[in-house]
Amino acid sequence: MQVDQISYGSVKRRNMKGYQVIGKSHGVDAALSGAFCRWAPSHSALEGAPDEAGEDAWAVSFFPVSESRFAITRTVHGGPEYSGRGGLTVMTTALLIAADQFAQYDNHAIDVARTAMALGHLILRPDSSESLPTVTMPKTPLALRLPVSDWSDAATPRLPAHAVQWVARESCSLLRDDRRVMIVGPCDPLPILTLLLDQLSAEERPRISFACGLKPSNRREFRLQFTHQEMTPKLQRELARQGIEAIDLVRVLAETR
C-alpha cells in the first residue's frame, strides 16, 4: 500500500528560512501540513540519553493530524544549523497514514514504525526536495521480534525485563483512566511502547498520542511522554501542576526487585 510522507526541519529557501515543511507527497494538503507543524519539534528539541552521544539522539512520536490521518514520526539530528545559532538541525520524517491503512496494522504505531524502518523508510533524506514519493508499505506488519533496547537491539537494555513489563502495565492502566503520563528516567522506550500498545485494544490505540526522545514541551501535549531526566522536586512539582502522572524509574527499580 502507498502511504503519504512529510519531512520537516531547518532549511534556507528563497521565500522562507527556518523550521518548516521541507517536502511532502502528493496526498498531503495544506491542512494536514499545518496540523503536522503544530506537533513537529524544532531546534534543540531532541533529548539524548545520558550514556549516548548527543548527535546520536533520536525520537519517535505518534499523533493525529486529522480525524482520518495519523502521523508516525522519527526525528534525528541533521547537519550544522545554517543560521549561526550553533548546534545541529533537528530533522523529522513522518508517515501520514490513513485510518483504513492504519487499521490493517491494528492501529499499532510501533509496528508501523518498525516495519517502515526495516524497509529503509523514516530515515534522514540527503536532499531537501519539496516533492516526495509515497512510501510503499506491506498491508500487514513484518514479523519482528519484540525489541529489547533500540531499533536493532545493538545496545544493552537499560532496564531489566520485569521493570519494562511493570512500566507498560502501569502506563496502560493510567492511560485507560484518562491520565497523561510521563515516564521519568533513562530507559529504552521501544520495548515499553511495544508492550503498552500490545495491551491496549485496536480501538484504544489511536487515542494515545506519545513521544520519546523529545524534551518535554507545553506546546506538544502528548498523552504519554518519556524523559531521560532523573526525577527532581522541581520536575515533580511541574508535572503535578500540569496534571501529569509521573512514573519514576528509580522508584520502579527499587520496588520491583
Calpha distance 31→23 (Å, rounded):
15
Which has the closest alpha carbon to 72: 105, 31, 26, 30? 105
Q: Give the whole-number percent of the chain exceeding pLDDT 90.
A: 77
Nearest to 151 by CA among 216, 213, 227: 213
* Amino acid type, 35: A
Return phi, psi of residue 222, to 5°.
-70, 150
Q: How many CB atoms lie within 10 A of CB 39?
A: 23
Q: Which residue has the cell 530515515?
A: 123
Higher pLDDT, residue 222 or 16: 222
In this prediction, what percent of the chain has a pLDDT beyond 70?
A: 98
Asked if 228 contacts 48 with a C-beta cutoff of 8 angstroms, the reply is yes
pLDDT digits 0-9 by tens, 137-158: 999 999 999 999 988 888 899 9
Rounded-to-integer distance, Cα 257 and Cα 116, Å: 36
pLDDT of residue 256: 83
CB count in 10 Å sphere of residue 104: 15
| Alpha carbon distance 16, 93 (integer Å) | 20
pLDDT band at 78 (very low <50, low <70, confident <90, very high): confident
What the block records as the C-alpha cell of 40 is 513537529
Of 60-64, 77-81, 83-87, which gets the smallest average pLDDT?
83-87
pLDDT of residue 126: 72
Q: Are 216 and 227 in contact (CB under 8 A)?
A: yes
C-alpha grid cell, residue 256: 520491583
* pLDDT tens digits along 196-235: 999 999 999 999 999 999 998 888 899 999 999 999 999 9
Consecutive H or E run containing 114 = helix 109-118
Weakest-pLDDT range from 5-14, 18-27, 78-87? 78-87
Nearest to 196 by CA among 173, 229, 213, 177: 173
Question: pLDDT-based confidence at 85, cuts 50/70/90?
Answer: low
Give the pLDDT mean for 154-181.
95
Sign of the CA dihedral running 193, 198, 202, 207 = negative
